A = this chain, B = another copy of it.
Amino acid sequence: MDRLRTNFHTNTTIERCDTCTVRHRAVCGALSKEELGYLNRLARHKKVPAGQVIMSDEEPADFVGIINSGAIKLTKTLADGRQQIVGLQFASDFLGRAYNSRNAYFAEAATDVEICSFLREDFEALLKQFPDLENRLFQNTLNELDAAREWMLLLGRKTAQEKVASFLLMLAQKSSLLGCGHSETVKFATFTLPITRTDMADYLGLTIETVSRQITRLKSRKIISITGNREFLVPDMSALTEVAGQDQPLDD
């Protein structure tokens, strides 16, 4: 455990895949024990400090990776500086684009981040070799597409209040999912906000002022309570879900 931690600092040593904490949730969970050996030899552990750009849309990215810890934001920017976060990725999420060195966006460490990275060509070779791995990555991409479209609904049609509530709800659900298996039935949740207000604003298509105001409003409505700006408590998930105005199949 302690030996593992020190490895992270050297930036070149290889972590043992079989002790990896996110493996079963990540794409590499598709591989058998023996197949993991291949991964092991190609994997390279990286530590990235908060704020650092990991991939740019200018220079081709020669690597892909899997997030071990921390949060990474994918951003797109207009000429005049207006910015939009188009994806937030956490531990076990896949980072980068297979089959294409051109990235359409920036990837930036939103917090300190640990990544298990691979040369893109190495990883693509693995994909060819292990169809289960490619299939898992494919499924992963399909899920990301669904999430992106869910977010399009939020960006295009939700009010500021609903946007903020939806984001907090997402985090709350994620945290209660990690806690125990039966996620649906949880009444309350606690979590630590992984990003700044600025990033929240860029994710929700708002300004920081509006985000701040809406959070205060949710506090005064007793939907959430906060300690120290980053620790959130949701006493009643259904109340938050209500405010988030979650989309709902309409029966015609």
Within 8 A of B (CB), among A40-97: 53, 56-58, 74, 76-84, 86-87, 97
Interchain CB contact under 8 A, B204 and A156: yes
Q: Give how many A residues have a beta carbon under 8 Å from the other chain's beta carbons.
A: 53
Chain A interface mostly helix, strand, loop or mixed?
mixed
Within 8 A of B (CB), among A135-169: 135, 137-139, 141-142, 144-146, 148-153, 155-158
Q: Is A250 an interface residue (CB 8 A)?
A: yes
Closest chain B CB from A193 CB (angstroms): 20
A77→B104 CA distance, assembly (Å) = 28
Interchain CB contact under 8 A, B58 and A249: yes
Proximity string of chain A (93-105) to chain B, C-beta cutoff 8 Å, 1 when within and 0 when not = 0000111100011
Closest chain B CB from A212 CB (angstroms): 18
A100→B146 CA distance, assembly (Å) = 12
Q: A58-B251, A104-B146, A249-B58 are in contact. Are A78 and B141 (CB under 8 A)?
A: no
Interchain CB contact under 8 A, A149 and B79: no
Instruction: Give the residues in chain B near A104, CB-CB below 8 Å.
Output: 146, 149-150
Contact of A78 among B77, B138, B158 (CB under 8 A): B158
Interchain CB contact under 8 A, A99 and B139: yes
Q: Is A131 an interface residue (CB 8 A)?
A: yes
Instruction: Give the residues in chain B near A82, CB-CB below 8 Å.
Output: 157-158
Q: Is A2 an interface residue (CB 8 A)?
A: no
A20→B217 CA distance, assembly (Å) = 57
Interchain CB contact under 8 A, A152 and B100: no
Closest chain B CB from A142 CB (angstroms): 6
What would 9 A/B residue contacts be, using CB atoms closer than 8 Å? A57-B249, A76-B150, A76-B153, A78-B247, A79-B247, A104-B149, A104-B150, A134-B135, A156-B204
Interface residues of A (CB under 8 A from B): 53, 56-58, 74, 76-84, 86-87, 97-100, 104-105, 131, 134-135, 137-139, 141-142, 144-146, 148-153, 155-158, 204-205, 245-252
